[in-house]
Amino acid sequence: MPWHLLSPTRYRIFHAEPLLALDLGSEIKWHQRHLKHLKKQAQRPNLFHEHWGYLHKTPQERERHFQEHVLEQIPYHSKRLADHIRRRELITAFFSPRAINDLRGLASERGAFPDYLVYDKERKSVFFLNKNPTTAQQIWAHEVQAKKLATVKSFGDLRVPANGAGDQR
């Protein structure tokens, strides 16, 4: 496997599926709304108990349920929200929102996501890289390149130039 061709000083490599598998915009909105709801319940625990019908339980059970379902969920959803925001910022730095929707749509239609998203620091360009492309990934790559959304390469396309440094032409 020619990983040595992708020098970390020249290339930045990201897993592509987490960037394309989800509609990050709707995920971010959902987590923001859910966090707002959880924080409101954290300020007023009675809202939580009324909503879930825990008023008939013992105070210890109610406190345990409140702890598990509200207080412990706030850091989890905050982390998920931050991860989704970071992913959206990353992918929007390279592609327009329309191109992202097209890439995600093609990937979900074909059931094939590229393995990696590679950013070439020297050329200021980005391309998708498939380690061992499946038939579905090859079809996806062909459609993406036909629509001129992005460049898609496989490890076989990488070659070593005369100076020995990695090249992705």
| Alpha helices (runs of H) in 21-134, residue ranges in sequence order | 24-43, 45-52, 59-66, 73-94, 97-110
User: For the stretch 58-76, what's the b/e string if a residue is b when 16 or more beta carbons lie within 10 angstroms of its beta carbon?
Assistant: eeeebeebbeeebeebeee
- Look-up: residue for tokens 């992913």? 87
Answer yes or no: is pLDDT of 164 > 70: no
Residue type, 112: A
pLDDT given for residue 52 in this prediction: 66
Residue type, 94: F
Answer yes or no: is pLDDT of 159 > 90: no
pLDDT given for residue 87 in this prediction: 94
> Could you report the per-residue pLDDT of 42-84, keeping only the tens digit for each?
887 777 767 766 655 677 777 777 777 788 889 999 999 999 9
| Entry pTM | 0.78
> Could you report the per-residue pLDDT of 11-22, keeping only the tens digit for each?
899 999 999 998
Asked if 22 contacts 84 with a C-beta cutoff of 8 angstroms, the reply is yes
Q: Which helix (H) or strand (E) holds 116?
A: strand 116-120
